[in-house]
Structure 1
Amino acid sequence: MTTTHSTPHQKIRDLAKAKKAIILAHNYQSAQIQDVADLCGDSLEMSIKAAATDAEIIVCCGVRFMAETAAILCPDKIVLMPNPDAGCPMANMVTPEALLKRKEELGGIPVITYVNSSAAVKAVSDICCTSANVVQVVNALKEDEVLMTPDRNLARYAAAHTDKKVHLWDGYCPFHNDLSVEAVKASKAAHPKALFVAHPECTPEVLELADSIQSTSGMIRFVGESSADQFIIGTEIGLLHPISKAYPEKTFFPVSDQLVCADMKKTQLQDIWDCLENMSGRVVIEETIRIKAMDAVKKMINTK
Structure 2
Amino acid sequence: MDRVEVDLKQEIARLKRERDAVILAHNYQLPEVQDVADFIGDSLALSQKAASTDAKVIVFCGVHFMAETASIICPDKRVLIPDLEAGCSLASTITVEQLRAWKKEHPDAVTVCYINTSADVKAECDYCCTSSNAVKVVKSIPEDKPVLFLPDMFLGAYVAEVTKRKNIYIWPGECHVHAGIRPSLVLEMLKTYRDAEFLIHPECGCTTSMVYYFGNGNGNGCVVNGNGNGNGISCNVKFLSTEGMMKYARQTSAKRLIVATEVGILYRMRKENPDKEFIPISSDAVCKYMKMITLDKVYRSLRDMVYEVKVPEETARRARRAIERMLAIN
**TM bucket, shorter chain:** over 0.9
Task: Give the partner amino acid of 1:76.
Answer: D
- SS class of match (1:253): strand
What is aligned with 2:303? 277
Q: State the alpha-carbon separation in 2 of the partners of residues 187 and 143 from structure 1.
A: 38
1:43·1:130 contact (CA, 8 Å) conserved in 2? Answer: no
What's the offset of the Cα at 1:6?
A: 5.3
- SS class of match (1:161): helix
Task: Give the partner amino acid of 1:107.
Answer: P
What's the offset of the Cα at 1:59?
A: 0.5
Is 1:202 the equivalent of 2:228?
no
What's the offset of the Cα at 1:3?
A: 5.7
What is aligned with 2:36? 36
Task: Give the partner amino acid of 2:323.
Answer: V
Q: State the alpha-carbon separation in 2 of the partners of residues 106 and 4 from structure 1.
A: 56
| Normalised TM-score (structure 2) | 0.87
What's the offset of the Cα at 1:53?
A: 2.4
Trace 1:1-304 onto structure 2 (pairs within 5 A). Answer: 7-142=7-142, 144=144, 145-164=146-165, 165-203=167-205, 204-206=208-210, 208=213, 211-304=237-330
* Structure 2, unaligned runs of 5 or more: 220-236
Task: Give the partner amino acid of 2:163.
Answer: T
Task: Give the partner amino acid of 1:154.
Answer: L
- SS class of match (1:32): helix
2:48·2:73 contact (CA, 8 Å) conserved in 1? Answer: no
Larger mean Cα displacement after TM superposition, 207-216 or 271-280: 207-216
Task: Give the partner amino acid of 2:172.
Answer: D
Number of matched pairs: 303
For residues 150-169 of structure 1, what are the alpha-carbon distances to aligned partners after superposition, in whole Å with 9 as ceiling and x for unaligned? 00111111112225432100
1:180·1:206 contact (CA, 8 Å) conserved in 2? Answer: no
Change (3 A) 1:180 1:98: same
Q: State the alpha-carbon separation in 1 of the partners of residues 67 and 276 from structure 2.
A: 33
Identity of aligned residues (%): 40
Change (3 A) 1:6 1:241: closer
Larger mean Cα displacement after TM superposition, 2-11 or 268-277: 2-11
Q: State the alpha-carbon separation in 1 of the partners of residues 151 and 272 from structure 2.
A: 32
What is aligned with 2:231? none
Q: State the alpha-carbon separation in 1 of the partners of residues 161 and 72 from structure 2.
A: 31
- SS class of match (1:92): helix
Larger mean Cα displacement after TM superposition, 66-75 or 186-195: 186-195
What's the offset of the Cα at 1:143?
A: 5.2
Task: Give the partner amino acid of 2:183.
Answer: V
What's the offset of the Cα at 1:62?
A: 0.3
The CA RMSD measured in Å over matched residues stands at: 1.9
Q: State the alpha-carbon separation in 2 of the partners of residues 5 and 183 from structure 1.
A: 37
Task: Give the partner amino acid of 1:285.
Answer: V
| Normalised TM-score (structure 1) | 0.94
The 4+ residue runs of structure 1 with deviation greater than 6 A are none
1:110·1:143 contact (CA, 8 Å) conserved in 2? Answer: no
Bigger radius of gyration: 2
Q: State the alpha-carbon separation in 2 of the partners of residues 249 and 238 from structure 1.
A: 19
For residues 100-119 of structure 1, what are the alpha-carbon distances to aligned partners after superposition, in whole Å with 9 as ceiling and x for unaligned? 22112112311110111111
Task: Give the partner amino acid of 2:296.
Answer: Q
- SS class of match (2:40): strand
